[in-house]
């Protein structure tokens, strides 16, 4: 992947600048390379909108050891460059990190590079980096192997993941898949829709002396119910009982959503009541499932009661809660409560989809409550809803008349 001319130019310029600011031939393997505070450097990069300047500035900044310890800024930069379609710039900033032998002596640093390539859906580069580890002086163990498997999963390359899971340990006896390895494989197979292969992986791990854990079981439960394979889900519950794996609220939430999708909200409500009897606390996702079920059945009053009882149930509504109930409130003409929900969602930083707010704006405008509609749009804009996604009622009248 060739770098753009502008990026090569910026990298050369910043490289010269770095040479001038790095403290001379110090024995310190991580010399200070910046005269400005780290927060200022990160702030400048965060505001930079030009992908070439962002990449070049990032490479320059990474000469600072303290900067390289800031994992989050790496993730943000990679995400922004990927979104801009500049995978060449992602490659430039990550390959530039391979010039720090003291960092590469720790496998965790290399794991981060492999993982970032995965987040950018650049799995070929992740594989290349994994293969380079011995030459870079980096230990290579199941930790970097798991990072590579995750990179395949993040890139959506399940076939490559399965092949790597099979071939790499066969070629390198020092790499033995562990519980995390199997969990990555199980999740990827489930997301691909191959539930049978995922269930078969449980048999494979048990043959290799590894017992499935709650993470594996919850993954299998989720996808069994998602695919309406309730009989397979019952097998997982049986396995959990056999292995003495204690389910958590997340385990039951998958069943709750399935019951609601089957129109069995009354059974779902009984299951929520049972959670308290087994020492588990229902969470927002539990109540969201019930609220959705009641709304779909036309029992808005019961849905409203559950919504108002969130604090009594020791949890708070989340983004999903508001996105479920607001449209049904609009449909029922309960605009006052819908409007309150909009403001409550923003005050608790549960930023729902703009289309949900737009329904409230449209409903208010249609009811000749233009001032309230305009105010909601104004408050939404102050909370980072764009003009394109959340429109003023005056510009949208033709759609609601």
Residue 194 is encoded by which pair of tokens? 């191959």
Residues 6+ apart with CB under 8 A from 9: none
Terminal alpha carbon distance of the chain? 53
Alpha-carbon distances, residue 290 vs 255, 257, 264 (angstroms): 12, 8, 10
Angstrom distance (rounded) from CA 289 to CA 269: 9
pTM reported for the whole predicted model: 0.83
Tell me how far the alpha carbon of residue 247 is from its chain's centroid: 23
Structure-token match 């020492």, residue found: 279
Q: Where are the alpha helices (DSSP H) in 96-157?
A: 101-104, 107-119, 123-132, 142-154
The closest of 61, 71, 68, 69 to 33, measured between CA atoms, is: 61
DSSP 264: -
Q: By the 8 A CB rule, do 198 and 186 touch? A: yes
pLDDT at 14: 45
The closest of 330, 265, 267 to 292, measured between CA atoms, is: 265
Task: Kindly give the confidence (pLDDT) of every residue in the chain, 401 residues in length, as a single tens digit, with 9 standing for 90 and above.
Answer: 555 555 555 555 544 443 333 332 333 344 444 467 888 988 999 898 999 999 999 999 999 999 999 999 999 999 999 999 999 999 999 999 999 999 999 999 999 999 999 999 999 999 999 999 999 999 999 999 999 999 999 999 999 999 999 999 999 999 999 999 999 999 999 999 999 999 999 999 999 999 999 999 999 999 999 999 999 999 999 999 999 999 999 999 999 999 999 999 999 999 999 998 888 999 999 999 999 999 999 999 999 999 999 988 889 999 999 999 999 999 999 999 999 999 999 999 999 999 999 999 999 999 999 999 999 999 999 999 999 999 988 655 544 44
CA angle 29–33–35, rounded 5-degree value: 145
In the structure, how many helices (H) and strands (E) does the chain have? Answer: 24, 0
The closest of 244, 290, 291, 242 to 270, measured between CA atoms, is: 290
pLDDT at 37: 87
Alpha-carbon distances, residue 85 vs 34, 48, 71, 89, 195 (angstroms): 29, 16, 22, 9, 33
Angstrom distance (rounded) from CA 212 to CA 218: 10
Angstrom distance (rounded) from CA 204 to CA 223: 19
Angstrom distance (rounded) from CA 355 to CA 375: 16
Angstrom distance (rounded) from CA 108 to CA 259: 42
DSSP 400: H
């Amino acid at each position: 992947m060739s770098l753009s001319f502008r990026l090569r130019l910026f990298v050369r310029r910043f490289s010269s600048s770095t040479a001038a600011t790095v403290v001379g031939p110090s024995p310190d393997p991580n010399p200070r390379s910046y005269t400005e505070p780290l927060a200022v450097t990160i702030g400048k990069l965060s505001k930079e909108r030009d992908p070439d300047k962002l990449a070049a500035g990032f490479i320059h900044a990474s000469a600072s050891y303290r900067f390289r310890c800031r994992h989050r800024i790496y993730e943000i930069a990679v995400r922004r460059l990927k979104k801009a379609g500049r995978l060449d710039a992602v490659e430039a900033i990550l390959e530039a990190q391979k010039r720090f032998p003291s960092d590469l002596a720790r496998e965790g640093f290399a794991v981060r590079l492999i993982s970032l390539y995965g987040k950018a859906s650049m799995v070929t580069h992740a594989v290349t980096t994994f293969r380079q580890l011995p030459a870079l002086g980096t230990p290579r163990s199941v930790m970097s192997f798991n990072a590579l498997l995750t990179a395949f999963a993040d890139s959506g390359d399940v076939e490559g993941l399965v092949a790597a899971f099979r071939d790499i340990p066969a070629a390198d006896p020092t790499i033995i898949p562990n519980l995390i390895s199997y969990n990555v494989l199980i999740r990827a197979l489930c997301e691909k829709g191959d539930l049978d292969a995922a269930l078969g992986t449980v048999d494979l791990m048990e043959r290799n002396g590894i017992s499935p854990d709650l993470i594996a079981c919850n993954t299998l439960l989720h996808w069994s119910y998602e695919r309406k394979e309730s009989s397979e889900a019952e097998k997982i519950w049986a396995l959990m009982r056999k292995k003495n794996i204690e389910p958590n609220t997340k385990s039951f939430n998958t069943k709750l959503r399935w019951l609601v999708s089957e129109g069995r909200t009354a059974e779902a409500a009984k299951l929520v009541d049972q959670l308290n009897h087994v020492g588990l606390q229902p969470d927002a996702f539990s109540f969201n499932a019930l609220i959705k079920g009641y709304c779909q059945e036309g029992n808005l009053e019961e849905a409203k009661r559950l919504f108002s009882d969130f604090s009594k149930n020791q949890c708070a509504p989340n983004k999903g809660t508001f996105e479920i109930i607001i449209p049904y409130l609009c449909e029922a003409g309960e605009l006052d409560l819908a409007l309150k929900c909009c403001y409550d969602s923003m005050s608790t930083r549960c930023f729902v989809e703009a289309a949900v707010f737009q329904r409230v704006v449209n409903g208010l405008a249609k009811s000749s409550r233009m001032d309230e509609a305009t105010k909601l749009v104004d408050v939404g804009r102050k909370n980072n809803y764009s003009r394109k996604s959340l429109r003023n009622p005056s510009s949208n009248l033709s759609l609601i008349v």
